[in-house]
Amino acid sequence: MNPLPEATQGAAISLSALMVQPPGLAPPTPAQQRFNALLARIEQLSGHIERLQTWSDRHRYAHIQALRESVQQAQTHRKSLLLFVHERLQTADFTDRQQRMARGLVRGLIDQLTASADPQVQALADLYVSEVDTQEAAQEQAEAAQRLRERIEEALGQPLNKPKQYQTPEEMMQAGMRQWQQQQEADEARKSAKRAARKAQKDAQKKNAAAEKGEIPPEALRAADAQSAIRTIFRQLASALHPDREPDEQERLRKTGLMSEVNAAYEKNDLTTLLRLQMQVTQVNPQSAARMADDKLMAMSVLLKEQVAALEEDLDQLQSRLSRELCVPVLAQADESAMTQSLQRLQADQRHITDSLEADLRRIQNDAALKRWLKEQWQLAKVQVQDRDDF
């Protein structure tokens, strides 16, 4: 191991200080290499988690608050647009085509505002969901859904399951994504089953061979050695930190706090924390690990491997949670400045939506401008539908 720092009392011990370094120029054994690699992976994963959490704490509140304010402003502008277009439908001189475009726009605004449960919005929703409008909208949705279905089936390489159940492009897209995910999960399940079967077969062969020879399987021995090693470290720490043996009140409080850390680490089989505390508290000679037998290192690696798996799961959950909350991809390997720029772009995009809605409100105050705007919105909606179908 690396030389122990002079002031270990109360100091943080890095995992690199726990790594085994053979004396002299002797190359590390495979067991030592495995032990060191697992420590390095634990340190890497712990660093990723700490870095992501720190970055999130620095940006999360302001980002979510900015998005919430922009969304609320956008909804306010959408409601104003809805009320304005509805009022002009009652009084302006629109052609039949312009009326259809205006009603379609009103329905779209109502869809975006439905979640608000605003009484005015609900009243207009009841008014505009007439039989004619509903049939017209349903026909448009059905045609778009059919076009999207053809593209999804082409991408999947198989027919979509029960396509008649899905009447809108959104439903069709969700069904396609579910079927694609099911395909991926089925493929992964088959691969996992094959891997598990091969592993079970190998394990059974090893156990049978060991049983014939009257031996205990090496995995069981390593697990037992690992528990024995962790109990030994725990007992050493418990003896060194026993608060009842300390006459000094301040030192007793310090040892009580450290003992709480020891108990928590022991309950979780957290070998790295116990090793660090052992170096910090008992002044164990770091070079003693270099003389530790390979079978002991391999046994301790069993616990380290469990810690790696737990940290990998924690990191995956943290990345997923932050990605959902912040609405941008959050990955441990990503550059912090790049993720921060993603937050800023998302805020800018939402502000642009809000500013565009506000500009539309100012623009359509006369009938001529309103009619031009209705035509533009109708054409834009058609382009968006086509882009969605192409996607």
Cut 0.75: pTM above it: no
Mean pLDDT, residues 84-99 taken together = 86
Predicted confidence band of residue 2 (pLDDT cuts 50, 70, 90): very low
Q: What are the tens digits of pLDDT across the range 190-212? A: 877 787 777 777 766 665 665 55
357 within domain boundaries = no
The residue that leads in pLDDT, 363 or 215, is 363
pLDDT higher than 80, residue 50: yes
Reduced to 3 states (helix: H, G, I; strand: E, B; else coil), residue 62 is: helix
Give the per-residue pLDDT at 11: 42
Identity of residue 65: Q
Mean pLDDT, residues 87-112 taken together = 86
What is the Cα–Cα distance from 322 to 329, expressed in whole angstroms? 8
Sign of CA dihedral 275, 279, 28, 313: positive
Number of separate domains in the chain: 1
232 within domain boundaries = yes
4 within domain boundaries = no
347 within domain boundaries = no
The residue that leads in pLDDT, 322 or 27, is 322
Mean pLDDT, residues 273-299 taken together = 63
267 within domain boundaries = yes
What is the Cα–Cα distance from 164 to 120, expressed in whole angstroms? 34
Tokens of 331: 């990955």
Q: Name the residue range of residue 222's domain.
A: 218-297
253 within domain boundaries = yes
143 within domain boundaries = no
Q: What are the tens digits of pLDDT across the range 298-326? A: 777 877 888 888 889 889 999 999 999 99
Q: What are the tens digits of pLDDT across the range 135-181? A: 666 777 777 778 887 888 888 788 888 877 777 777 878 888 887 87
Let me know: does 36 contact 324? Beta carbons within 8 Å.
Answer: no
Q: DSSP labels for 210-240? A: HHHHTPPPHHHHHHHHHHHHHHHHHHHHHHH
pLDDT higher than 70, residue 389: no
Tokens of 41: 């992976």
237 within domain boundaries = yes
Mean pLDDT, residues 332-339 taken together = 92
pLDDT higher than 70, residue 215: no
Mean pLDDT, residues 330-354 taken together = 94
